[in-house]
């Protein structure tokens, strides 16, 4: 069933919003962890909050609370650019969220995400690197839920 014009415009706005998220996030590639930009501190959750705010998408400030923002994406394959990806903290035996990033793209069935890393600053990594694979919790759609 074809979408009517009103719904197509809404779909186009969401797609362009996701593209803007990536464009804004990529501007900061290489910036050191905890760098200050405007009034934001770019730890992982601060980076996510700042980038999403640039496209008028409001999320909470902490990785502990960002796991509740938006709507859960049930399957990794259904993640879209701009979704929040949530990981456990450094203690992989504790299920408490401790790190977040933004879904960037898929390549060869591998999900890539952009985030603020303590060791690399703003960077792009993939979900199947052992460090992240063992700590993955879930993905949250905060753009398509508006």
Domain locations in the chain as residue ranges: 5-141
Q: Which CATH number fits domain 5-141: 3.30.70.20, 3.20.20.150, 2.40.10.220, 3.90.1720.10?
A: 3.90.1720.10
d(CA 80, CA 87): 17
d(CA 127, CA 106): 10
The CA–CA distances, whole Å, from 123 to 10, 35, 60, 86, 103 equal 30, 13, 22, 16, 12
* Confidence band of 123 (pLDDT split at 50, 70, 90): very high
- Percentage of the chain surpassing pLDDT 70? 88
**Cβ distance 102 to 92 under 8 Å?**
no
**Cβ distance 132 to 42 under 8 Å?**
no
pLDDT of amino acid 1: 44
d(CA 25, CA 10): 23
pLDDT of amino acid 144: 87
Identify which has the larger pLDDT, 39 or 7: 39
pLDDT of amino acid 97: 98
């Amino acid at each position: 069933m074809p979408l009517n014009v009103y719904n197509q415009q809404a779909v186009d706005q969401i797609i362009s919003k996701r593209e803007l998220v990536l464009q804004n996030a990529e501007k900061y590639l290489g910036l050191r962890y905890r760098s200050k930009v405007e009034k934001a501190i770019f730890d992982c959750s601060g980076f996510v909050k700042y980038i999403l705010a640039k496209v008028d998408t409001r999320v909470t400030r902490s990785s502990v609370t960002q796991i509740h923002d938006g709507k859960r994406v049930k399957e990794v394959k259904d993640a879209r650019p701009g979704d929040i990806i949530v990981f456990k903290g450094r203690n992989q035996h504790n299920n408490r969220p401790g790190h977040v990033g933004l879904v960037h793209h898929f390549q060869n069935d591998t999900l890539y995400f952009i985030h603020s890393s303590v060791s690399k600053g703003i960077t792009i990594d993939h979900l199947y690197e052992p460090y992240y694979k063992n700590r993955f919790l879930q993905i949250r759609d905060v753009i398509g839920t508006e």
